[in-house]
Structure 1
Amino acid sequence: MKPPVFVASVVLGLLTGIDDFLYAYGVARLPISTSALIISTQLAFTAAFAFLLVKPKFTPFTINSIFLLTLGAVVLALHTSSDRPANESKIRYFMGFFMTLGASALYGFVLPAIELTYKKAKQTVTYSLVMEMQMVMSFSATVFCSIGMIFHGDFKAIPREASEYELGQSTYYVVLVLNAVFWQMFFMGAVGVIFSASSLLSGIIIAALLPVTESLAVLFYHEKFQVEKGLALVLSLWGSLNYFYGEFQENKKMKKQNQALETEIT
């Protein structure tokens, strides 16, 4: 890894650390299904920043998909008062809402910035280099978050939280470790998609997982599922399916063009 790529990875890691803080703070004050729908706006931010930084190809299907996914989040935002937990103050709830939205916007910037780093790197970008960059980014984000936890005294709270955990102290630490492992798998997958395709596709895949999160939140946490959440979910599903259908049509069109070109040559 050359110095410019290393410096870029450190900066991206620090931005990821800030994003982690915003995400953790916001999710702690919102129902899971609500936070998941807000995070779906990440696609709109990813598309906007990708347009500014890496200039991807936008098809009508892509634009329609981004519009539908963003509209779903707007519908949810207009009906937040009915979703506020009973023990949560209005101010803290809206702080959680806007910090989650901020996390979505920031990660929407990070994904195209990673793609831009790949494009501007003055060396051959292999998946090994991608893994090195991710290691530096994760380390930088961990240092950022750890410093904040030290000053806030969060490490002292971990044993107390473990002792109060309903499923048992050992299970608490298992959950922490598994969280770390699964988040690393997520990040490696996200940067891998950017390396293989684009930041926009990475954002689409993240948004496409929304129905899974919604379903699990209602199933395991028995969260309320109001009409506006249902409408937002339908819009999100429609937007995701619209994108993948557009990609399927584009690939089909490209295949026909390649076949026609091969026929002309022969």
Structure 2
Amino acid sequence: MAHVQEIQLQIRGAPDEESEHGRDGSKADTRRSTTRGSFLWWITVAVDMFMVLCGTTVATLLGRLYYNSGGNSKWMATLTQSGGSPLLLVPLLMTPAPPAEERRPAASKLWPIYAGIGVLIGFDNLMYSYALQYLPVSTFSLVAASQLAFNAITSRLINAQRFTALIANSVMVLTFSAALLGVGSSDDGDSSSGGAPHSKYPVGFLLVLAAFALILSLFEATFERVIRARTLRWVLAMQMNTNLVASAVSVAGLLASGDWRTIPAEMAAFRDGRARYVLTLAGTAVAWQAAAAGMVRLIARVSSLFANVTGTLALPLVPVFAVALFGDRMTGIKIVAMLMAVWGFLSYAYQHYVDGRRAENGKAECHVCAARGESDAVLPA
């Protein structure tokens, strides 16, 4: 009888040990796999999505307001997209210190990555500023969804992203919604383009489709292969350091281009005075950092493609506010494009729901098989 109990305890102990340390001996990996897709996990993802939605919407509208109110320095507009990064030092100092046994990549590996990605972010921010000036805010924000198709390619090549029918449908629908607006942009009657001629719209389209997709994939690859941790502390550190480099690029461009000499006159001529000029730039900087924080956290928690899909969900919100703030006209093409964008996101979200349900069913089957194995092991004795 004692021998039977010993066998039973050994069999029951094996699954527990594997669930504690994981198949590769990594306790953290197993803990992440058990919490991914849970209710708490979805709550944290929803918070990150909210940051992306609100931050992107406010930052895009304030960026358009800067140009419409008399701002003309593209390097200053570029600086606002990364210049708020020192604010991240406050939450970074408030996060708990990492445990002594936590693996920390060597600085010689991290700083070249920070520098490389930061330079890419700096130039991509400049292209974003050009595009925002050339395109109406409603058209620009939805056409930016075309980045998703490029991000799908880089995610597949760099991050080995798994594609299903639902994910492919999401990417295609969002891309078609952007193409639909591109076709109808010449007749949309938007007034928020800063008076840019329609001949410059294609330039804006090309500038929007820049290096953003590549940057997101590089973020995910860094978390996966170099840092190998997804904690809040690493997310904040990654965002702050890369944005500091991007800010340095923007300041260098501001000085080299001579735009810094025009800032006092631009501030004096700004609509409603200097205070509104400062508040507009400061609000833009804070909004971009909030959006970037949510974006990087989504990359760390889920994937770069999911983060980009979430960004496209923010795009239909912008035209609604642009109608009230800038006098844009809500055309039928934009309405159809917005519905397509929402449908594309829901398709991707449903794929994650299906994956979560399959994971739960797989765990339940494993528990049943383990229970059957225990009973079979006890009966012969």
TM-score by length of 1: 0.91
Work out whether residues 38 and 101 of structure 1, in 8 Å CA contact, stay in contact via their aligned partners in 2: no
Work out whether residues 319 and 330 of structure 2, in 8 Å CA contact, stay in contact via their aligned partners in 1: no
Which residue in 1 is equivalent to 2:175? Answer: 70
- CA shift for structure 1 position 226: 2.2
Which has the larger displacement, 223-232 or 109-118? Answer: 223-232
Which residue in 2 is equivalent to 1:12? Answer: 117
Q: Find 2:312's aligned residue among 204, 207, 210.
A: 207
Q: Separation in 2 of the partners of 1:135 and 1:3?
A: 17
- Count of equivalent residues: 263
Q: Find 1:96's aligned residue among 204, 217, 225.
A: 204
1:79 aligns with 2:184: yes
Q: Separation in 2 of the partners of 1:43 and 1:262?
A: 39
Which residue in 2 is equivalent to 1:138? Answer: 243
- CA shift for structure 1 position 108: 0.7
Q: Separation in 2 of the partners of 1:75 and 1:249?
A: 30
Q: Which digits, 9 at most, give the CA deviation of each residue in 1:30-52, with x for residues without a partner?
A: 11111111111122211110000
What one-letter code is carried by the residue in structure 2 that aligns with 1:97? F
- CA shift for structure 1 position 156: 2.5
Q: Find 1:33's aligned residue among 133, 138, 144.
A: 138
- Any stretches of 5+ residues in structure 2 without a counterpart? 1-105, 372-381
- CA shift for structure 1 position 125: 5.7
Which residue in 2 is equivalent to 1:264? Answer: 369
Which residue in 2 is equivalent to 1:234? Answer: 339
Q: Separation in 2 of the partners of 1:41 and 1:166?
A: 33
**DSSP 3-state at the match of 2:250:** helix
Q: Find 2:166's aligned residue among 61, 70, 74.
A: 61
Work out whether residues 84 and 90 of structure 1, in 8 Å CA contact, stay in contact via their aligned partners in 2: no
Which residue in 1 is equivalent to 2:357? Answer: 252
Which has the larger displacement, 120-129 or 229-238? Answer: 120-129
What one-letter code is carried by the residue in structure 1 that aligns with 2:181? L
1:119 aligns with 2:227: no
- CA shift for structure 1 position 79: 2.2
- CA shift for structure 1 position 92: 2.9
| Alignment RMSD (CA, Å) | 2.0
Which residue in 1 is equivalent to 2:127? Answer: 22
**DSSP 3-state at the match of 1:41:** helix
Q: How does 1:207-226 map to 2 (within 5 A)?
A: 207-226=312-331
- CA shift for structure 1 position 145: 1.3
Which residue in 1 is equivalent to 2:147? Answer: 42
Work out whether residues 54 and 116 of structure 1, in 8 Å CA contact, stay in contact via their aligned partners in 2: yes
Which has the larger displacement, 93-102 or 118-127? Answer: 118-127
Q: Separation in 1 of the partners of 2:221 and 2:227?
A: 12
- CA shift for structure 1 position 15: 0.4
Q: Separation in 1 of the partners of 2:127 and 2:258?
A: 18
Compared CA separation, residues 68 and 124, structure 1 to 2 (3 A) = closer
- Any stretches of 5+ residues in structure 1 without a counterpart? none
Q: Which digits, 9 at most, give the CA deviation of each residue in 1:55-74, with x for residues without a partner?
A: 02222111100010001111
Q: Separation in 2 of the partners of 1:231 and 1:187?
A: 28
Q: Separation in 2 of the partners of 1:101 and 1:196?
A: 25
What one-letter code is carried by the residue in structure 2 that aligns with 1:220? L
Based on CA coordinates, which of the two structures has the bigger radius of gyration?
2
- CA shift for structure 1 position 160: 2.3
Q: Separation in 2 of the partners of 1:26 and 1:61?
A: 30
- CA shift for structure 1 position 188: 1.8
What one-letter code is carried by the residue in structure 2 that aligns with 1:173? V
- CA shift for structure 1 position 179: 1.2
- CA shift for structure 1 position 94: 2.7
Q: Separation in 2 of the partners of 1:50 and 1:123?
A: 18
TM-score by length of 2: 0.65
Which residue in 2 is equivalent to 1:171? Answer: 276
Q: Separation in 1 of the partners of 2:360 and 2:131?
A: 45
What one-letter code is carried by the residue in structure 2 that aligns with 1:146? V
Work out whether residues 12 and 137 of structure 1, in 8 Å CA contact, stay in contact via their aligned partners in 2: yes
Which residue in 1 is equivalent to 2:213? Answer: 108
